[in-house]
Amino acid sequence: MLIRLVSIFIFLFINSPAYSLELQHKKVCTWDPVGKNGPVIAFFSDVVPRALNWGLHLEFIPYLDENQVTVDLDKGICDVGIVTAILSRDYVPFAGTLDAIGGITSKDKLNKTMAAISSPKAVNLMSSGDYEVVATLPVGSMFAFVNDRKIKDFDHFRNKKIAVLNGDIQTKTFAELAGATPVDTTLANFSGKFNKGIVDIVIMPALAYNTFELYKGLGKNGGILDLRLFYGMIQAIARKSAFPDDFGFQMRKYMVNRISHINAMIDEAERTIPHKYWIKTDKQTKDDLDYFYKDIRLKLKIENRFHPKALSLLWKIRCLSSPNREECEKP
């Protein structure tokens, strides 16, 4: 009874005119594939009471189309836009390069990366102009979902159709170098194209298996290569002029404190996928793809699509975690 009374008091206090005047109301336009009851908004829900301590009332507004989030962010309708790193890369290149292929391939490397970008030294790197990536939500290792189990190594990607989300230059480069055909898709239609057999391969995390019903596309003949290509990222882009100077730093620290919850959520999603769908790849395939990933990163670095300091950070973390890697050997 006492707890209920306290809860009512807090609710009334927060919503009182006097208290509301002290809070800055900010709109957080959030891409969520399910909508207002979806996983992205649910994950960020506990930042709302935390932000009250920072003098901010954050209103999370669901969007089914992440491209529309960026449109409204550009117009100033949103104070924060939450989208995939594919789109955030155009706002803050350093932060948007953290999902570089072959960059983060394990939980240990993820934890080190999250700690690095939440340090005071990273504040300037996480900003570009009036935009700042204030939060990075890893959604898990990205896997190749294929509609035919015969597509089990690099050579079998040739002449297959690969879904490219929102013009993602990384997946497009991957497809072209692999001899596959890139097919333009969006988060609204990629699953339909995969499930109908219009595309043969989609690069997605385990969380997408149920959320986007990818089991329909896998059917009886498909599978998921057990290669961890990179960690997918959802990132929150804030207009710096709309917030206190330390907002981004506070948010990134908040995300680091949630990393164990994030990892548990990802582990559960991977466990729920039936064992029959996982396609085991051999060491030779893994080694070949390591070189392939490096070629993609180098090409996109030369084309100024990937931020060199972000790639350097990921290299240092890979070599700290696995010093015997060939790329870590000193000349």
Q: Which of 105, 169, 167, 104 is nearest to 304 (CA)?
A: 169
CA 173 to CA 152: how far, in whole Å? 19
Residue 301 pLDDT: 96
User: Distance between CA atoms of 52 and 226, rounded to whole angstroms?
Assistant: 42
Query: Could you give the CA distance from residue 135 to residue 81 in angstroms, rounded to a whole number?
Result: 11
pLDDT in tens, the chain (331 residues): 434 443 444 444 444 444 444 789 999 999 999 999 999 999 998 899 999 999 999 999 999 999 999 999 999 999 999 999 999 999 999 999 999 999 999 999 999 999 999 999 999 999 999 999 999 999 999 999 999 999 987 788 999 999 999 999 999 999 999 999 999 999 999 999 999 999 999 999 999 999 999 999 999 999 999 999 999 999 999 999 999 999 999 999 998 989 999 999 999 999 999 999 999 998 888 888 888 999 999 999 999 999 999 999 999 999 988 888 878 875 4
Pairing mode, strands 201-205 and 131-146: antiparallel
- Residue whose C-alpha is closest to residue 30's, from 19, 42, 21: 42
CATH topology classification for 18-139+232-272: D-Maltodextrin-Binding Protein; domain 2 (3.40.190)
Give the start-to-end residue ranges of the domains of the chain.
Answer: 18-139+232-272, 142-230+278-323
Segment holding 280, helix H or strand E: none
Contact yes or no for 164/155 (Cβ under 8 A):
no
Cα dihedral 26, 244, 96, 201, rounded to 10, equals -30
Cα 248 from Cα 141, distance rounded (Å): 25
Cβ 144 vs Cβ 225: under 8 Å: yes
Instruction: Judge contact between 136 and 233, C-beta under 8 A.
Output: yes
Can you give the pLDDT at residue 18? 41
Residue 330's pLDDT is: 57
Question: How many other C-beta atoms are found inside a 10 Å radius of the C-beta of residue 169?
Answer: 16
Q: Residue 267, Cβ neighbours under 10 Å: how many?
A: 13
- DSSP notation for 49-67: HHHHTTTEEEEEEEES-HH
Contacts of 103 (CB under 8 A, 6+ apart): 97, 109, 230, 231, 297, 311, 314, 318
**Identical fold at 18-139+232-272 and 142-230+278-323?**
yes
- Rounded CA-CA distance 4/25 in Å is 26
Predicted pLDDT of residue 289: 86
Instruction: Determine the Cα–Cα distance for residues 145 and 193; give it in Å rounded to an integer.
Output: 13
Name which CATH class applies to 142-230+278-323.
Answer: alpha beta
Q: How far apart are the first and last CA of the chain?
A: 69
Alpha-carbon distance of 284 to 45, in angstroms, equals 43
User: DSSP states of 108-156 as a string?
Assistant: HHHHHHHHHHTSGGGTTTTEETTEEEEEEEEEEEEEEEESSTT--SGGG
